[in-house]
Amino acid sequence: MADESIALSENTCLMEWIDTHTHLFLDAFDADRDQVIQRAQQAGVRYMLLPNIDENSLQALYTCEQAYADCCKPMMGLHPCSVHHEVNAQLQVIQQQLDERDFIAVGEIGLDYYWDLTYRTQQLEAFRTQLHWAGECHLPVSIHSRSAIDDCIQEIKKIQKGQLFGVFHCFTGTKEQAQQIIDLGFALGIGGVITFAKSDALRQVISQIPLQHLVLETDAPYLAPVPFRGKRNESCWIPHIAHTLASLFQLDDAEIARITTANALRIFAGLSKG
């Protein structure tokens, strides 16, 4: 694995990547953020898209954006795991940000039934509200759907009138779910999970999906790909995720870079204005 890591770093320097989902503004990177950004750029990562979490992450998000404005592009949204009983007040803060600033997308929004269902009703309210905002603003959406893919799909179906588009972040679903997502005009975010030893089923699903519906992501600092599993994830490891895709589709890494970067630029059209 060590030799493969060296080969990847040498062979990917001329390729261009986009990490469509990374939390570089979190305190996990406070000690060495400059070096993390530098390593990503050296690996060919042109843009790193930053999904907001909640009202408490705003300052860190904006500080990161301002410090690395050429490569770090912020989203704005309320993460479902942050939703609580005062969801309307939380949403007012998010709406104010969308009114006052420019963002690359609405996100990270969605549903999470994995940890706690206490605020399921509030999560649904927040998700629906933010989907409407995305449609009104003509912005893509970054969707969190942990243990809730079907409900996320159904909520989008209810209001989809050709205006909603974006990415189902960290997709780990079935082929049938993938097809429904694609039919709704969304792409699938592929991250480190696809490299895991126990992800054979996911690899089988993704191998049947046309590449034009896939984008790359890290979800850093979480879900580091093999051979770095268990470590803090970084955007510079995007090529390792891509290498697994290349193996699945029997293509070289450069073709994966070309296609997934084009997909991300198409979805996140605001990048071409930056």
Domain extent, residue 96, equals 2-273
- Residue pair 22/37 in contact (Cβ under 8 Å)? The answer is no
Q: How many domains does the chain have?
A: 1
Q: Exposed, middle or buried, 113 (CB in 10 Å: 0-12/13-18/19+)? A: middle
Angle at 218 (CA atoms; ends 243, 248), nearest 5 degrees: 25
CATH of the domain at 262: 3.20.20.140
Q: What is the pLDDT along the chain (274 residues), one digit of tens a residue?
A: 334 443 454 555 569 999 999 999 999 999 999 999 999 999 999 999 999 999 999 999 999 999 999 999 999 999 999 999 999 999 999 999 999 999 999 999 999 999 889 999 999 999 999 999 999 999 999 999 999 999 999 999 999 989 999 999 999 999 999 999 999 999 999 999 999 999 999 999 999 999 999 999 999 999 999 999 999 999 999 999 999 999 999 999 999 999 999 999 999 999 987 5
